């Protein structure tokens, strides 16, 4: 019998970064844990990024994922907000990468399509489908639910995502 593959999904955000951990055994998805790492919105940007880094390091150290997936950045209303989200996303990618974990990226619409079947949906629809896909999961925040959705998306697309990462590394 093959060993389950542990996947960490990360939904980056400067205020709150969601994380979700699942195991994949063949076609079976198994909920492990989820939550979010928060930063103090009154703190300096560098301190907020350190808080996200420290929190995600704890998650990686505790759950020891084999693979990770992060949601790609979409453009916000303002350039400043987009830049700050990009910095939080950099931390979200750096933590697993520094631990030697391959990191895949998925567009928000692909995540929605993988979970709900349509590229545009409400957050509550994602939570409803997660209850079907991962019955034991009960994410307390939208960030944690989104992170689980990213992990599930990676479980469905991981073979092609890993092949892309290997091709890119060979260049």
Active-site residues, by number, are 11, 71, 143
List the beta bridge partners of residue 88.
none
Question: For 22, which DSSP code?
Answer: E
Angle, to 10 degrees, between the axis of helix 142-170 and the axis of helix 108-116?
110
DSSP secondary structure letters along 126-165: HHHHHHHHSTT---SSHHHHHHHHHHHHHHHHHHHHHHHH
Angle, to 10 degrees, between the axis of helix 45-63 and the axis of helix 79-98?
30
């Amino acid at each position: 019998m093959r060993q389950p593959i542990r996947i960490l999904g990360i939904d980056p955000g400067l205020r709150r970064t969601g994380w979700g951990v699942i195991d994949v055994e063949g076609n079976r998805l198994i909920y492990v844990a989820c939550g979010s790492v928060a930063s103090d919105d009154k703190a300096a940007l560098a301190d907020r990024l350190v808080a996200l880094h420290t929190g995600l390091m704890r998650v990686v150290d505790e759950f020891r994922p084999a693979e990770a997936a992060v949601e790609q950045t979409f453009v916000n209303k303002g350039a400043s907000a987009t830049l700050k989200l990009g910095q939080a996303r950099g931390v979200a990618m750096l933590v697993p990468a520094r631990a030697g974990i391959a990191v895949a990226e998925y567009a928000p619409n692909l995540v929605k399509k993988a979970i709900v079947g349509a590229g545009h949906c409400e957050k509550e629809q994602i939570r409803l489908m997660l209850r079907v896909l991962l019955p034991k999961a009960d994410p307390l925040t939208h960030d944690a639910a989104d992170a689980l959705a990213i992990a599930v998306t990676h479980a469905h697309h991981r073979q092609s995502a890993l092949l892309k990462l290997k091709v890119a590394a060979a260049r």
